[in-house]
Amino acid sequence: MKSTKGTLLVFVWSAVFLSINAVAAYNSHLLEPVESPGQPNILWIYIEDTNAWMSCYGDTVIQTPNIDQLAGEGIRFNRAYMTSGVCSPTRSAIITGMYQTSIGAHEHYSSFSMFRGNKMEVWDPNHLGVKTLPEIFRAAGYYTFNEGKFHYNFVFDPDTLYHRHAEKMGFKGAENGTEWTGRKPGQPFFGQIQLIGGKFKNPEPVVKPEDVQVHPYYPDHPIIREVTANHYNTILELDKELETIVAALKRDGLYENTVIFFFSDHGCNLPRHKQFLYDESIRVPFILAGPKVPAGKVRDDLVSSLDISATSLELANIPVPDNMHGMDMLADGFHRDYVIAARDRCDFTIDRIRAVTSKRYKYIRNFMTDRPYLQPNYRSDWPEMQILEELYQQGELNEIQAHFAGPERPAEEFYDLQEDPHETINLVHSVKREHAVALAEHRDILNRWILETDDKGRFPESENALRAVIDRWGDKAVNPEYDEVRN
């Protein structure tokens, strides 16, 4: 239970928000900053599309000395899960500390009035009724910055969230007002450095296709091997980038007072590694290091990406608002019986999937069984996607590989992660009592979570939201939901 003092602070902040909202047409939530000298800096090193194929996580294909060093100085989390397998819902959840499904930010690339230079004729703005993390930090006297993408599925003013923000991805060297160099002397910072990670173009080809192993749910094909090897090579580039960031923090005398959160938004671009809710999509590398963080620890308990938000505030001695779903992962009583993840529309592909991951099991509920896993999507013409379809049509996939590439999918999937870490043996119809009892428990968890957190994915998108998708993607938007609004 939270303290009376913490509740009072939340009440005061809510009152301030209401008074501001009465005179503002957007989600500003401006508060009067307070001085916070001596507080720790909070830095999120936020990586795109990256799996934990690193030597500190036991991978033997490559060595990642700088990532390993950071892990040795803090905590390596082995079971950290994102709330989605695609960027904008994940980023919307973490920056608010709330499930994207609770704040209407669950549909990928929603609430965008502009998309890649194209201004929407109509769109459906999502105005939040809660403060984002940078707003809270800013009100506490912190300097806030974001180097790289936002991708928040709600209306926001970047100048309200951040003192410094830049669209270009990557570390700028903390020079000439970039990163933390624009703050006042002694002012603590809350910052995000967005690294392209798995999207790194043309990394040095250190790892060759013949050096890697292929996951059992993919065919052992040269294209799959090439994509897998390329991902290892992007991680080698990531390791170098981390070294540069740490060196800059030390150069500026900030390293000892900076808490670093090092994590990925979801898995790599392999077919089942992104957008879906299997472990290789939502289970991510996560390292936490800095003051008040014990060194050389490894944790195997369940952690949600929402806990990154709450823990960041707690480390800065800022009360966690009651609306947040995240918890302080460093608290003595921290424990999660399960974590939840959700997939909804991704780009133009309409879908709805929910997943419950517990210590032993993964339960997946597919709400749209009329659509195959690989229904038309923005990656449909990628070689790794096309080879799956081609080999399936030729009958050259085994039963496990054909399941994901085929035209049907079950309403429910249930996996024993201890015995089946690759999630290939569906236990929904298992005759073992322990599995049947666990399945019923996971069904109940999901049903209760949907109601208790007000999962807005159970409602269809508005007509204006669907029209905006058509405006962005044109004839690629082929799901039947678009037919009623297409002109």
Q: How many domains does the chain have?
A: 1
The string of pLDDT tens digits covering residues 79-105 is 999 999 999 999 999 999 999 999 999
Angle of CA points 157, 163, 167, to nearest 5° = 65
Region 270-288: mean pLDDT is 97
For 241-264, the pLDDT digits (tens) are 999 999 999 999 999 999 999 999
Bridge partners, 80 (sequence order): 284, 303
pLDDT digits (tens, 9 = 90+) for 149-167: 999 999 999 999 999 999 9
Phi then psi for 242, rounded to 5 degrees? -60, -40
Token pair 């599995």: residue: 435
Q: How far apart are CA 245 and CA 195, in angstroms?
A: 11
Say if 6 falls within a structural domain.
Answer: no
Q: Does 72 score more than 60 pLDDT?
A: yes
Please say whether the beta carbons of 312 and 190 come within 8 A: yes
Q: Is 337 exposed, middle or buried (0-12, 13-18, 19+ CB in 10 A)?
A: exposed
- Quick one: average pLDDT of 460-472? 96
Cα(first)–Cα(last) distance of the chain, in Å?
53
Tell me what pLDDT residue 30 has.
Answer: 42
pLDDT at site 116 = 86
pLDDT at 20 over 50: no
CB 149 within 8 A of CB 169: yes
Instruction: For residue 22, count other CB atoms closer than 10 A to its CB.
Output: 7
pLDDT tens per residue, range 24-67: 333 334 444 455 567 999 999 999 999 999 999 999 999 999 99
pLDDT bucket at 422, cuts 50 / 70 / 90: very high
Q: Is residue 30 part of a domain?
A: no
Q: What is the pLDDT of residues 205-225, one digit of tens each?
A: 999 999 999 999 999 999 999
pLDDT, average across residues 434-452: 98
Q: Which residues pair with 261 in a beta bridge?
A: 44, 288
pLDDT, position 356: 98
- Residue 343, phi then psi, degrees to nearest 5: -125, 130
Mean pLDDT of 429-446: 98
Give yes or no for residue 11 having a pLDDT over 80: no
**Is residue 474 classed exposed, middle or buried when 0-12, 13-18 and 19+ CB atoms within 10 A define those classes?**
exposed
Identify whether 197 is part of a domain: yes
Residue 8, judged by CB atoms within 10 A of its CB (0-12, 13-18, 19+), counts as exposed
Q: Are 164 and 182 in contact (CB under 8 A)?
A: yes
Would you say residue 403 lies in a domain? yes
pLDDT at 487 over 80: no
Q: Strands across the sheet with 361-366, in order? A: 338-343, 353-358, 361-366, 412-416
Residue 21 structure tokens: 């909202």
Cβ partners under 8 Å of residue 344, min gap 6: 89, 101, 106, 107, 108, 351, 352, 457
Whole-angstrom Cα distance, residue 485 to residue 487? 6
Task: Tell me how far apart the alpha carbons of residues 458 and 447 are, in angstroms, rounded to a whole number.
Answer: 11
Instruction: Identify the band that residue 4 occupies on the pLDDT scale cut at 50, 70 and 90.
Output: very low
Which of 11, 107, 95 has its CA nearest to residue 309?
95
Considering the chain, what percentage of its residues have pLDDT values greater than 90? 90
Query: Is 344 inside a domain boundary?
Result: yes
CATH assignment of the domain containing 389: 3.40.720.10
Q: Is residue 29 part of a domain?
A: no
**What's the whole-number average pLDDT of the chain?**
93
Q: Given this model, what pLDDT does residue 115 score?
A: 87
Of all residues in the chain, what percent carry a pLDDT higher than 70?
92
Q: Is residue 368 part of a domain?
A: yes
Confidence of residue 117 (pLDDT cuts 50, 70, 90): confident
Q: Is the pLDDT of residue 470 over 70?
A: yes
Q: Does 6 have pLDDT greater than 50?
A: no
Q: Alpha carbon 185 to chain centroid distance?
A: 33
Q: What is the mean pLDDT of residues 113-139?
A: 94
Whether residue 18 is predicted with pLDDT greater than 60 in this model: the reply is no
Q: Average pLDDT of 170-197?
A: 97
Please report, for residues 60, 85, 167, 357, the alpha-carbon distance to residue 284 in angstroms, rounded to integers and kept in the order given. Answer: 18, 10, 24, 14
Tally of CA atoms within 13 A in the half-sphere of 182 that contains its CB: 18
For residue 283, pLDDT beyond 80: yes
The pLDDT, as a whole number, for residue 8 is: 38
pLDDT for the residue 21? 39
Domain membership of residue 17 (yes or no) is no
Q: What is the pTM of this model?
A: 0.91
The mean pLDDT value for 337-350 works out to 98
Helix/strand/coil (H/E/C) assignment for every residue in the chain: CCCHHHHHHHHHHHHHHHHHHCCCCCCCCCCCCCCCCCCCEEEEEEECCCCCCCHHHCCCCCCCHHHHHHHHCEEEEEEEECCCCCHHHHHHHHHHCCCCCCCCCCCCCCCCCEECCEECCCCCCCCCCCCCHHHHHHHCCCEEEEECCCCCCCCCCHHHHCCEEECCCCCCCCCCCCHHHHCCCCCCEEEEEEECHHHCCCCCCCCCHHHCCCCCCCCCCHHHHHHHHHHHHHHHHHHHHHHHHHHHHHHCCCHHHEEEEEEECCCCCCCCCCCCCCHHHHEEEEEEECCCCCCCEEECCCEECHHHHHHHHHHCCCCCCCCCCCCCCCCCCCCCCEEEEEECCECCECCCEEEEEECCEEEEEECCCCCCCCCCCCCCCCHHHHHHHHHHHCCCCCHHHHHHHCCCCCCEEEEECCCCCCCCCCCCCCCCHHHHHHHHHHHHHHHHHHHHCCCHHHCCCCHHHHHHHHHHHHHHCCCHHHCCCCC
Q: Which tokens belong to 169?
A: 């991805």
Range of the domain at 185: 41-482
Q: In this predicted model, what pLDDT tens digit does every residue of 368-414 receive, in sequence order?
A: 999 999 999 999 999 999 999 999 999 999 999 999 999 999 999 99
